Amino acid sequence: MTVRHPISSDAETESGRLAAIRRRVPDPMYVFLLGFLSVPGYLFDSLARLQLFALFFLAGLWPLVVAVVGTVLGLGSGSDGADEEAPTDWIDMGDRATNVRTLVAMLALQFQPILLVTGILQTAGHVPILARYRGSLPSPTSFESDVDYRLPFEGTWTVVNGSPDRDYSHSWGILTQRYAHDFVITDDDGRTHEGERGPPAAYHCFGEPILAPADGVVVSTRVDHRDYHRTDGWMDPLQRSILGNHVVIEHADDEYSVLAHLERGSVQVEPGDRVERGQRIARCGNSGNSTEPHLHFHVQDHPNFFLGAGLPVRFGPLETDHPRTGPERHDETYVHAGQRVRHVGRR
């Protein structure tokens, strides 16, 4: 749920090398799930040998290993893809010191009681999700939505995290957030804020209106979480929900959008309210598991955050832009990390 800060220009190909590593290593999430076979071993003496399967839980540390390597140590030039530039390299979101602080905060908050329970529930939720799909999870080639989704904001925003492609997925190993996106607003220099990294109000997207992405009915909301005052890589140590203030909307059977990190007191809808596509529902904030103001958005197949499988969705109509490719207009398309995106009227 955090905004991951791309490395500064002195190591601009580092994220490309990380992508190369991810392509070569099997998804450790499936190895991690073998650890649940150890549970009967702790419940029944006759099955004590199953406790050895608990070692597979160590695979859950893989995302932290990648973060440490990419943020602190760097990678040698011999990796495949060493010359590959990440699509987000043009976005200026902090220097290496900010990235290190983010990593330290991630490690420290693993033991915060609420986040510890949240991590366990997220991981345990993978079991019913995989069982529901018999291991064949929704993908851009297998899932097609009938819902007419639009971007959940007006104006031009930047996709800082997220893509239907594994290399630049928001969180490929977290099934709920596999197809999530993080959106910010950048200026012409790729900066997300005015001046130095200061209070949330200094960020271009803070307080901007957030809109319903499609017609639907509000399922749940949270409105009372504080917006953390720091934006220099630290995360709120007193957070009570990784989503912070949020809205969950049902758009169709088994399709629920989640809009998170909203500004405290800005949510304008309540559970049971019917909303229309493009209706203002809240403002962008910095609440929950967030390192700076941004909008987290994803669609899942269940109203419960821990039990829903993430779904890939197309937005439309919109214009996409990237410094290396230029603007393109689409009636409907997926959006990818590094793109500037803007909702446009229908032709």
Q: What is the pTM of this model?
A: 0.84
**What pLDDT, on a 0 to 100 scale, did the predictor assign at position 149?**
98
Query: Which of the residue ranges 154-168, 191-205, 244-258 would you say has the lowest mean pLDDT?
Result: 191-205
Per domain, the residue ranges of the chain are 9-123, 137-343
| pLDDT exceeds cutoff 90 at 308 | yes
| pLDDT exceeds cutoff 80 at 110 | no
| pLDDT exceeds cutoff 80 at 74 | no
Q: What is the mean pLDDT of residues 154-168?
A: 95
Q: What is the mean pLDDT of residues 43-61?
A: 85
**What pLDDT, on a 0 to 100 scale, did the predictor assign at position 11?**
34
- Let me know the angle formed at the C-alpha of 76 by 171 and 86, rounded to the nearest 5 degrees: 40
As a whole number of angstroms, the distance between CA 336 and CA 320 comes to 9
| pLDDT exceeds cutoff 50 at 12 | no
**What pLDDT, on a 0 to 100 scale, did the predictor assign at position 341?**
98
**What pLDDT, on a 0 to 100 scale, did the predictor assign at position 70?**
58
Confidence of residue 98 (pLDDT cuts 50, 70, 90): confident
| pLDDT exceeds cutoff 80 at 78 | no
Question: What does the pLDDT look like over 270-299, one tens digit per residue?
Answer: 999 999 999 999 999 999 999 999 999 999
Percent of the chain surpassing pLDDT 70: 82
Question: What does the pLDDT look like over 111-151, one tens digit per residue?
Answer: 788 888 998 898 889 999 999 999 899 999 999 999 999 99
The CATH label, of 3.30.540.10, 2.60.40.10, 2.70.70.10, 3.40.50.12280, for the domain at 137-343 is 2.70.70.10
**What pLDDT, on a 0 to 100 scale, did the predictor assign at position 26?**
56
Confidence of residue 19 (pLDDT cuts 50, 70, 90): low
**What pLDDT, on a 0 to 100 scale, did the predictor assign at position 23?**
52
